Amino acid sequence: MQPAAPAVDVAASRHPVVAVVGPTATGKSDLGVQLALALDGEVVGADAAQLYRGMDIGTAKLTTAQRRGVPHHQLDVLDVREEASLAAYQQAARADVTAIRSRGRVPVVVGGSGLYVRALLDRLEIPPTDPEVRARWEGELAERGVEALHEELARRDPDAAARIERRNGRRVVRALEVVELTGRPFSATLPTRDLLEPTVLLGLRADREVLDRRIADRAARMWADGLLAEVRGLEAAGLRAGRTASRAVGYAQALRQLDGELGEQEAVEDTAAATRRLARRQQSWFGPDPRVVWLDHDDPALLERALGVVARAAGTAG
C-alpha cells in the first residue's frame, strides 16, 4: 500500500475537478479513493454498468469497506430493468459535482465509460431520442444486419460512419435515429475536447500483456466470487428485461451459462475476451486525448505522482 500523501492545499471552490480514466482493470477505482482521501474529495462514478443496483461482482464495484468512508455518487442509481440514459446521467452527475463543490470538497470523477466521462466533463449536446424511431431502426438492424446499416449511415453521415465501429450496431442505430430526428449529422453532436471547467485528467496505463493477464484473472475471480449467484438474483429482479444491464460484460455471459449455451470455463473465457475488446476501445477513446496525463498503474509512487500532477494544475488554476 502506498503511504498517505498530504492533501493539496488549494481551496475546493477553485480546485480543478480530478478525473481518473483509462482501460478497465488498471486500478482506477482504488486510485480514485486515495485521491479523494488526500484531497478531501468525493467520487463521482463514470461507469455505465456500475449505475445498476446489485451489479457488483461483475462490474468490480468497490465494497463499502473499500470506499473507506469516501462518498460515491452515480453508483446503484438504476434498477436492472431500466435503460441507462446518457442525458439523464449528464444531468445527475453534473448536479453531483455542483453539490460536492457546495460542500467545499473536490469532485473526483472515476470511470472508463468514455462517452459518460465526456458527457460529464466536456461541452456535449445530447441529441433527442424517440422510441418509435429507435425501434424501427433496430428492426432494420435485425433484418438487414449491421454492415448494411453502417453503409446506410455512411451515405447519410460519412463523418459519423468513419468514427463508429462497423460492428457496433447500437451506435449505428443511434446515429441513424439522430439524423432522422434532427435533420442534422450525428457527427455534429459528437463530443469535442472543450472542458466545462478546469479539470485534471489522469490516465492509468498498463502494458498489453500485463493488462490481458489482469483481465483474465479478474474474469476468473468474478466466477469464484459468486457472479453466477449474483446473476440468478438479478434475473429474478428482471435482468433479462433490461436492455442495457443484460448486455454488460460478464452478465451476458453468465446468462448464457444459465441458459446452457456456455459451460463455466467458456463463460469465463468469453468474458475475458469481451473485456479485452472493451479495454482496447477504451484505450482508443482516451489514448488520443492530449489532455490526459498518463501514469503507470503499478508505479510504487503512483499516488504521489498523481497528486503532483494535480498540485501543478491547481496552482495554475489558482
Sheet holding 199-205, edge to edge: 72-73, 41-45, 106-110, 17-21, 199-205, 292-296
| Position with higher pLDDT, 128 vs 281 | 281
What pLDDT band is residue 317 in, cutting at 50, 70 and 90?
low
- pLDDT for 187 equals 82
Residue 109: enclosing H or E segment and its boundaries?
Answer: strand 106-110
* pLDDT above 90 coverage of the chain, percent: 86
Interstrand relation of 292-296 and 17-21 (parallel, antiparallel or unpaired): unpaired
Average pLDDT over residues 12-19: 83
In three-state form (DSSP H/G/I as H, E/B as E, the rest C), the secondary structure along 223-263 is HHCCHHHHHHHHHHCCHHHCCCHHHCCCHHHHHHHHCCCCC
Q: What is the pLDDT of residues 65-85, one digit of tens each?
A: 999 999 999 999 999 999 999
CATH architecture classification, 131-189: Orthogonal Bundle (1.10)
- pLDDT for 124 equals 87
pLDDT of 8 > 80? The answer is: no
pLDDT of 50 > 80? The answer is: yes
CA 8/CA 21 separation, integer angstroms: 20
pLDDT of 308 > 80? The answer is: yes
- pLDDT for 163 equals 87
Contact 204, 22 (CB under 8 A): yes
Q: Lowest mean pLDDT of 7-16, 45-54, 177-186, name the range.
A: 7-16
- Which residue bears the cell 468525493? 42
CB atoms within 10 A of CB 207: 11
Radius of gyration of the CA atoms of the chain, in A: 20
Q: What is the mean pLDDT of the chain?
A: 93
Within 13 Å of residue 294, how many CA atoms lie on the same side as its CB?
12
Residue 216 neighbours by CB under 8 Å, 6+ apart: 272
What pLDDT band is residue 9 in, cutting at 50, 70 and 90?
very low
What pLDDT band is residue 7 in, cutting at 50, 70 and 90?
very low
Q: What is the DSSP string of 263-283?
A: -HHHHHHHHHHHHHHHHHHHH
Work out the burial of residue 286: count CB atoms within 10 Å of its CB; fewer than 13 is exposed, 13-18 middle, 19 or more buried: buried
Contact 60, 250 (CB under 8 A): no
pLDDT of 303 > 50? The answer is: yes
pLDDT of 169 > 80? The answer is: yes
Domain with CATH 3.40.50.300 in the chain: 12-122+197-226+283-317
pLDDT of 38 > 70? The answer is: yes
- How is residue 44 annotated by DSSP? E
Domain with CATH 1.10.20.140 in the chain: 131-189
CATH architecture classification, 12-122+197-226+283-317: 3-Layer(aba) Sandwich (3.40)
Q: How far is CA 48 from CA 24, 114, 168, 236, in A?
A: 12, 10, 17, 21
Angle between helices 86-102 and 114-121 (to 10 degrees): 50
- pLDDT for 127 equals 84
Q: What is the pLDDT of residues 263-283, one digit of tens each?
A: 999 999 999 999 999 999 999
Nearest CA-CA partner of 207 in 281, 271, 114, 283: 283
CA 222/CA 220 separation, integer angstroms: 5
- How is residue 23 annotated by DSSP? S
